[in-house]
Structure 1
Amino acid sequence: MDFSSPSSPPNGPNFIAQSHIPLPPRMSMILGLATSPQDRLSSFTATVTELTKTVKQGMAQQQQFLAARDNANSQ
C-alpha cells in the first residue's frame, strides 16, 4: 500500500468538486474591511449566520448521500 500518494474519494475525483460549497460572500468582510467594533461585530454575526446555513446545507446533503447509499446497498 502506497501511503505517499493521495487517495481518491470513494466516488471518484468528481466527488470533491460536487460536494464543495463556496464560502459566503461576506467572508471577505472578515479580512478587516469593517473599521468600527460595531461594524466588525455585525460582519462577524453575518458571517457566522452564513456559515451556519452552509453547514446545515452540507449536513442535509450528507444525510441525502447516506440515505441514497443505504438505499442502494439494501437493494
Structure 2
Amino acid sequence: MIDHEAVAKRYRDQAEEFRAKSELMRDETARNQYEKIAESFESLADNEEKLAFKKEGHPLVRKTQEPFPTGDGCP
C-alpha cells in the first residue's frame, strides 16, 4: 500500500531543494526553470495529500470540506 503522506513529504523536500538551487542561479531563465520544477513538486505533494485525506479512516480527513471540489459550486 502506498504511504501518500510519505510521498508528499518527499515531493515537498524535493521542491525545497529546487527552490534553494534556483536561488543560486545567475541566469534568470535557469532560475525560472528551477522554480517551475519546484512548483511542480509542490503540486504533486498536494495531490498526494488529497489521496491521503481521501483514505477512509484517515485521522486528518476533513469533515467540513470536500478534499476534491465537485466543480459545480455546490458542497
The match for 2:14 among 13, 25, 34 is: 25
Q: Which runs of 4+ in 1 moved over 6 A?
A: none
Q: How many residues align?
A: 50
Question: Going by fraction, where is helix more abundant, 1 or 2?
Answer: 1
Which runs of 5 or more structure 1 residues have no equivalent in the other structure?
1-18, 70-75
> Computing the radius of gyration over CA atoms, which structure comes out larger, 1 or 2?
1
Q: For residues 12-60 of structure 1, what are the alpha-carbon distances to aligned partners after superposition, in whole Å with 9 as ceiling and x for unaligned?
A: xxxxxxx562423242232312221101110011000000000100111
> Normalised by the size of structure 2, how large is the TM-score?
0.53
CA contact (8 A) 2:15 2:42 kept: no
Structure 2 unpaired stretches of 5+: 59-75
Instruction: Quote the RMSD (CA, aligned, Å).
Output: 2.3
Identity %: 4
Of structures 1 and 2, the one with the larger relative CO (CA 8 A, separation 6+) is 2
